Amino acid sequence: MAQSLQFFRRIMLLLNITVCVFLAWVFGMTPVLAARQSDGVAFTQNLSALPAKPWTLTVAILSMAALIVVGVLRRRSYHFVGWIEPLFALCVIFALHLDYNGLLLYVVVDLIDGLHGRTRRRFLGVMTALFLLTGLGALQGALHTVPFSEYLLYFDMHTRQLLQSTVDLLGALHLILFVVYMVVLIGQRTEENSAIRRLNGELEQANDRLSVMNEQLKAYAAESERMAETRERNRLAREIHDTLGHALTGITAGADACLQMLEISPEMAKKQMERIAATAREGMNEVRRSVRALRPDALERMQLTDAIAKLCPKCRRLRRRRLCSTCRLRICGCRRTRRTRCTASCRRASRMLSGTDTQLRCVCALQRRSVGLA
């Protein structure tokens, strides 16, 4: 479609060049022929005004060349003001005595494809007004220009009809090409608009499908999360039942046996208590193993001491005081002069670090050693 439009535009340019060159030749050669045949007086008497000076034809040729050059440069992405081409076209039309204004139609064809919206409407309005104005015969009389028909009076009837028919034929052909170009351009724009509307409809349908799929994915993700929670809860329940439940059952049965053997055989009751204690420790170890599988992210990336060392400054900033005064008990090994009592949380943390109640460590010392302050 674009190639056909370009073809029509080139044909219209060729026709305009042909018409302008033909008119310039008639306007320039007719006085010369009359002078050579010594008919200059008779020629001028048939004219309504004096013939134009020869330099006006030079202006017409130069303006036509400038119009062609500006159009070529504009299509090659050179930035020109859109009104330059109409100005050159008007220069050619006035230099040719307002006998041919089809050049304005070529300017419309050359510029309309690059204009949009309000700018296009204004351009079409101005070009229509110029086309109608330059086509009025009264404007020729007001400007005292000699029309093409008066130049033809110098020739005989056959030559006159031939020249007039040539100009009329080229003008009609140019007008037909203009109409065909506009019809093809309107059809192309209509097809483009239809394609855009079709694509917009397809995009809306795709967006609707994506929205439905997104909702389905959200529902599937929520269902997967609930299923994962259920599976994890069931796994923990099975592990607790298999470990802690078994240990508690053994402890209950052993305690009942101890109550029966306590008066009969204290030694056997003592051994039974030792077995109950071992069973309890095994149960605690199994519980710790289950809880260890649910460690937070900090314990997955670092050791417990490093995690506590990182947690203490955060707690101090949040509570605006030290988490532990320094655990300054004699058994902690802290050498500071000031000694205070460890808090209950510090004692619990120390028992977690050591694993027993008899080997307490100073949490602050572990913190200083972890951050390199000890």
Per-residue pLDDT at 371 exceeds 50: no
3-state secondary structure the chain: CHHHHHHHHHHHHHHHHHHHHHHHHHHHHHHHHHHHCCCHHHHHHCCCCCCCCHHHHHHHHHHHHHHHHHHHHHHCCCCCCCCHHHHHHHHHHHHCCCCCCCHHHHHHHHHHCCCCHHHHHHHHHHHHHHHHHHCCHHHHHHHCCCCHHHHHCCCCHHHHHHHHHHHHHHHHHHHHHHHHHHHHHHHHHHHHHHHHHHHHHHHHHHHHHHHHHHHHHHHHHHHHHHHHHHHHHHHHHHHHHHHHHHHHHHHHHHHHHHHHHCCCCHHHHHHHHHHHHHHHHHHHHHHHHHHHCCCCHHHHHCCHHHHHHHHHHHHHHHHCCCCCCCCCCHHHCCCCCCCCCCCHHHHHHHHHHHCCCCCCCCHHHHHHHHHCCC
Q: Tell me which residue of 167, 13, 31, 12 sits closest to 99, measured CA to CA.
A: 167
What is the per-residue pLDDT for 78?
Answer: 63
Q: Tell me which residue of 279, 272, 277 sits closest to 247, measured CA to CA.
A: 279
**pLDDT per residue over 32-89, tens digit each?**
888 888 887 778 877 877 777 888 888 989 999 998 888 888 877 766 556 788 899 9
Please give the residue that has the higher pLDDT: either 222 or 281.
222
Please give the residue that has the higher pLDDT: either 1 or 357.
1
State whether CATH 1.20.5 applies to domain 215-292.
Answer: yes
CA atoms within 13 A on the CB side of 315: 12
Report percent pLDDT > 90 for the chain: 23
What is the per-residue pLDDT for 232?
Answer: 81
**pLDDT per residue over 278-309, tens digit each?**
878 877 777 777 666 655 555 556 676 776 77
What is the per-residue pLDDT for 215?
Answer: 92
Question: Is pTM, for the whole model, over 0.85?
Answer: no
What is the per-residue pLDDT for 327?
Answer: 41
**pLDDT per residue over 246-260, tens digit each?**
777 777 877 887 887
Residues 6 or more apart whose Cβ sits within 8 Å of residue 37: none
Per-residue pLDDT at 242 exceeds 50: yes
Per-residue pLDDT at 357 exceeds 80: no
CB count in 10 Å sphere of residue 290:
16
- Average model confidence (pLDDT) for the chain? 77
Name the pLDDT band for 144 (thresholds 50, 70, 90). confident
**Residue ranges covered by each domain of the chain:** 2-154, 215-292, 304-371
What is the per-residue pLDDT for 295?
Answer: 55
What is the per-residue pLDDT for 291?
Answer: 67
